[in-house]
Amino acid sequence: MSDDIHIRKEGRAGRITLTRPRALNALSYEMCGAIEAALDDWRNDDEVALVLIDAEGDKAFCAGGDIQQLYDTGCAGDFAYGRRFWADEYRLNARIARYPKPYVALMQGFVMGGGVGISCHGSHRVVCESTQVAMPECGIGLVPDVGGSLLLARAPGRAGEYLGTTGTRMGPDDAIYAGFADRYSPQLKWQELRVALIESGDPGVIDGFAGTPPEGGLRAQQAGIDAHFGGEGLHDILNSLRSDDGDFASAALKAIGRGSPLSMACTVEMVHRLRGPGAGIGRALGLEYRFTYRAMEIGDFLEGTRAAIIDRDRKPQWKHGLDALPGYAVSQMLMPLGPDALTLEEE
């Protein structure tokens, strides 16, 4: 087994621990495969009453996917590796969302991108005082994926459009409010909580360790979010924000100014399509895959990754300007893939 992840059975629990704290527990292709194999093994194992996933270190549960190889292969003109990576990762996300046994995630520090995918679709999601949840993918030319688009669509009011386009970080209270987490428990209680979960196999024990998180800011901003982020598309959101000289609008515009216009416009469209009772994890992942399948070849992913992670100059040259996004661009990224569409085994 990889040194990056520790998988074992303890008591009544199947345990998964990410062990790359120096890399903020970034999720690699191999780690995704190991988690998927463990979930398959435990699905019909009567000794395993619940799954418990956690991570070493205080800085991050998982700050995202390990995208170095995605970047390297994409720059070499190999788009197949990335497409296979995303397809397999998304299948794992669907497995977690549909898992028949309780899936408990202890989410400290940064929980971003791929980290959201292996925690926030679980049945029991626990945050602490250090938790910072975010979907910042637009900043590297992607869209909120790993099923995150569905979580955004289900967030209160227009919070999904706001969180998805700005990449705003949510503390524990905001994460619970937005539907990315369920319960707050101070991290000092987590070791005792782990023992209780392992011994009992009952996620109900979480209640005995839960408390009230420090108040976040998202609730207080909801009216402003709904007023400015309710437009039909990104252009409408921009016009609304530009008409307001208040602090919230100014901060939102600054954040939007850092993202890929193509990615943000597609994010708004995806959240709109997924809002409502008919949308589920399969539809969300399929829609996300339409974008990521094309992200290297005709999107901004390679340039966004270069600017943010490789060269770190923070000066991406996006394909389109914020006010010059052609009308066809969103449709081009989100059109059906035909025979290349994402398939999920459960379906």
Coil vs helix vs strand at 250: helix
Q: How far apart are CA 71 and CA 68, in angstroms?
A: 5
Catalytic residue among 114, 167, 201, 299: 114
204 is catalytic: no
233 is catalytic: no
Question: What Å distances lie between residue 307 and 35, 158, 164, 203, 311, CA to CA?
Answer: 31, 29, 20, 42, 6
Strand-pairing partners, residue 50, are 13
Catalytic residue among 11, 14, 65, 74: 65
Catalytic residue among 54, 66, 89, 137: 137
Q: How far apart are CA 158 and CA 304, in angstroms?
A: 26
65 is catalytic: yes
At 61, phi and psi to the nearest 5?
Answer: -70, -55
How buried is 160 (Cβ within 10 angstroms: 0-12 exposed, 13-18 middle, 19+ buried)? buried
∠64-234-314 over CA atoms, to 5°? 45
182 is catalytic: no
Q: Do residues 175 and 133 lie in contact, with contact meaning Cβ atoms separated by under 8 Å?
A: yes
Catalytic residue among 54, 145, 174, 269: 145
In 205-301, beta strands by DSSP E: none
Q: List residues with catalytic annotation.
A: 65, 114, 137, 145
